[in-house]
A = this chain, B = another copy of it.
Amino acid sequence: MHDVDVVVVGAGLAGLSAARTLVGAGRTVAVLEARDRVAGRTLGGFLSNGVPVEMGGQWVGPTQLAALELIEELALKTFPTFDEGDALTVFDGNVVRYSDEDFGLPPESAAEVGRLWEQLEALASAVAVEAPWDTDGAEELDRQTLDGWLVANTEDSIARRFFRVLVPVLFSAETPELSFLHFLFYVRSGTSLETLAATTGGAQERRVLGGTHQISERMSADLGDAVRLNAVVRTIRQDESGVLVEYEGGSITAGRVVVAVPQTLAGRLRYVPPLPALRDGLTQQMPAGSVIKLQVGYDAPFWREDGLSGLVLSLDDALTVVLDNSPHDGSCGVLVGFLEGAHARTASLMGADERRELVIAALVKYFGPKAANPFDIVEQDWTAEEFTRGCYGGRLGAGVWTQYGRALAVPVGRIHWAGAETSTVWNGYMDGAIRSGYRAAAEILEKLP
């Protein structure tokens, strides 16, 4: 009766994982992708010397079991992120080298950061991750922003600044933009703050040889003609008999549909009949973070010779975080840097040359004059992408979880929701995206005759 059993909107990790599962269970699918490529917020790029670099999501780590298993199933290889030597913290004009866990901060502020960190870990561990609105004290936690909590809980200005920089590194958003409950949920969803922040032992532990976009590309290759590129979905109609998905240039019928795009974009589709108010209201309130990611290529990873790991956290600069992103074979040096949150919003208005100067000046400050002459810089401004409109993901501001959170992943009739932001485990990460696709597929397999 229908053209296919299931239409999937969006060929990122979530949509492709859902489609792959459904096809594996003998169902027919069509995956409609607005872009001329698959892989969504993962995107492969190249430096001018041909070395591949990840322009979007790039790291995997322990407890990200869905991602790690899928990578293995697709016969891709991982390798450890370079993580030897000292890290740098920059504040008040000083570039401080450190190797312990004090982040190079003055002892008093380091202790205060440690105290707050422990408090945050304890509060996060108490979040009801499957239903954050049921967390003990949810309303009070959700009433506050993370910034409000910080101001109320420490007078130490360096400790405040530290978290006000660490948070954009994790969310591409600023501390006032996050509900405190959302922050705690996200930390819990990704195991712990320590896990989110760490390279070895944490979320930045490993990379995929050749780039993470291959995960999507290999799934897409297996799906063959089922994946249709340049299909900009605009309207989803549903009635008792099924769904009709209209895209620019055509339409397709199915029994069910998986909408696997960021929530803010899901809200831009037209739904007939209209979505319930709570679901619509949620999509009005999950704005995406802002990030410009830069990959800077050097002839060699010269910082390693100085005993540096390449990791930098700056409380002073727009380029707040840098990591070593050199290829596995060390054939050249690559530093990956991020302009995040407020810094991305400002830098997005600059010309490319001005942004390049800003980045190189910061790298010279961190690593010395050798950083002045990269052979190439490639950059990706995710806020400018029509079919992403911001990374890393959608965030919930004060009050949203407790009032709207219930609508995040609950199907609306024949419409199922996927995407990294709908996952209770590793929410916002590649692993969460994959899990959300599996979850949506499971929902559908249970329903389909």
Contact = CB atoms under 8 A, between A and B. Distances in A.
A182 interface: no
A251 interface: no
A399 B175 CA distance: 9
A380 to B, nearest CB: 12
Judged by DSSP, the binding face of A is mixed
A397 interface: yes
A389 B148 contact: no
Contacts of A411: none
Interface in A257-292: 264, 267-268, 270, 274, 276-278, 280-281, 284-288, 290
Interface in A143-160: 143-145, 147-148, 151-152
Contacts of A290: 277, 281
Interface string A27-60: 0000000000000000000000000000000000
Contacts of A174: 399
Interface string A357-399: 0000000000000000000000001011010011000000111
B268 A267 contact: yes
A55 to B, nearest CB: 16
A349 interface: yes
Given A267-B268, A268-B268, A386-B274, A399 B177 contact: yes
Contact of A281 (B145, B148, B287, B386): B287
A205 B168 CA distance: 46
A318 to B, nearest CB: 14
A218 interface: no
Contacts of A176: 142-145, 398-399
A283 to B, nearest CB: 9
A443 to B, nearest CB: 22
Interface string A318-362: 000000000000000000000000100100110000000000000
16 contacts: A143-B147, A143-B176, A145-B145, A148-B148, A176-B398, A274-B384, A277-B389, A278-B345, A278-B349, A281-B290, A281-B383, A284-B286, A284-B390, A285-B287, A342-B403, A397-B397
